Each structure stands twice: as C-alpha cells, then as structure tokens.
Amino acid sequence: MKNTLIIIVLISVLGVGAWYVARPKQNTISQTVLTPTNSIGAPSEVTSEPTSPIFGAITKWLPQSILEVPVPAEEETPYGTVTGWKVEGKLTGEAAIVRNFEDAKFMKTLAFEEDMKFAADGPGASNWGYSKTFEGKTEVVVFSYSSGRLGNPEGNTNGTVRFSVFVSDPFTKK
C-alpha cells in the first residue's frame, strides 16, 4: 500500500511538471526579429521579442496610456516597406491630448536623429519619425497619433486618442 501511494504521488508530480513545461506561455511572440540592436545600435543577440528600449519608455512618456503588447509588423516608410515591431495604445478622458510625446534627448542617446521624411501633420492626427544608420544598416522609429476628429482635434468629443510606435528591424536602404 505504501509503495502504491509513493508511485501515485510520483506520477502526479511528474504530470504536473510536464503540464507546467508544455503549457502555452502568455504574451509570447513567435516571430523572430532578423537582427535586433542594443541601445547604441550595435547588433545584439537574435530574439523572438522586441528588444528596443523605446517600447519601455512609452509608459514614461504617456503614463496614463493603455498599451497593447508589441507585435511584429510591416510599415510603409519613405525607405520602402520595412519590418519591425509595433505597439499601439490609447489615451482616454482628459489625458487624451497628445503632441509629440517622445523624449528627443532619449532618442539622441540611442543615436537616432529626427527624420523629416516622416513628418506629416493635420488636424487631429500627426506622424513623425527618427532614423539612424550603423554599419550600413538603417533603423527607423515612427510615432503617430489620431484623435479620430479630423476637423477639430481640440473638440474631440469621444475623448480617445489612438497612438502607435513602430521600431524597424535594421535594413539596407534601397
């Protein structure tokens, strides 16, 4: 009887351990980044999750924001279609007033320079970006927001502003 109990406990422990190892992981992104870079622009280890410190800074720039998980994305840019990672979010209520929300000094510490090719403003929406080149590879960061009120953003009656941040994988300019 004692041996049977030990065998049942052992099988139970192994079963729980196998379930724990095999269970689906939450917020796991399965696509691989081609060649991510570290904070100074040098190539770093290949990973299946975004490595850019820019994604971590968004909550400092927009502390009242509601963010989604970064996802692999393609973005049409002045340099063509590029791949990378994109995070979207929203601001609601009184916090739903956005201007350029990034920290330009922080972007400079990452070796990014403002790139006027991304600049586009209109009533209720804006788009702007940064780029850098390191060892022949270019990376871009595109910031944008839209209040959904193209006629008068200050009259934003729904109180919601959607924004996004796209960080490209390194690419060669064409």
List pLDDT tens digits, range 80-130: 999 999 999 988 876 566 667 888 999 999 999 999 999 998 877 889 999
138 has pLDDT over 90: yes
HEC profile of 57-68: HHHHHCCCCEEC
pTM: 0.67
In whole angstroms, give the CA distance from residue 82 to residue 166.
10
Higher pLDDT, 113 or 48: 113
In a domain, 3, yes or no: no
Q: How confident is the model at residue 15 (pLDDT cuts 50, 70, 90)?
A: low
Lowest-pLDDT range of 24-28, 48-52, 53-57, 133-137? 24-28
What is the count of structural domains for the chain? 1
11 has pLDDT over 90: no
pLDDT at 142: 96
Q: How confident is the model at residue 136 (pLDDT cuts 50, 70, 90)?
A: very high
In the block, tokens 């929300």 appear at 101
Structure tokens at 58: 């968004």
In a domain, 6, yes or no: no
Burial (CB < 10 A; 0-12, 13-18, 19+), residue 132, is: buried
In a domain, 157, yes or no: yes
In whole angstroms, give the CA distance from residue 92 to residue 161.
7
Mean pLDDT of 41-52: 52
pLDDT at 97: 64
In a domain, 160, yes or no: yes
In whole angstroms, give the CA distance from residue 98 to residue 96.
6
The range of the structural domain enclosing residue 31 comes to 27-168
In a domain, 121, yes or no: yes
pLDDT at 63: 86
The angle subtended at Cα 81 by Cα 106 and Cα 136, nearest 5°, is 60
Question: How many Cβ atoms from other residues are within 10 Å of residue 113's Cβ?
Answer: 12
In a domain, 55, yes or no: yes
The backbone torsions φ and ψ at residue 70, rounded to the nearest 5 degrees and listed phi first, read: -60, 140
Higher pLDDT, 28 or 42: 42
> Percent of the chain scored above 90 by pLDDT?
40
pLDDT at 118: 94
Q: Beta strand 160-168 with 80-92: parallel, antiparallel or unpaired?
A: antiparallel
In whole angstroms, give the CA distance from residue 130 to residue 103.
12
23 has pLDDT over 50: no
In a domain, 77, yes or no: yes
pLDDT at 59: 87
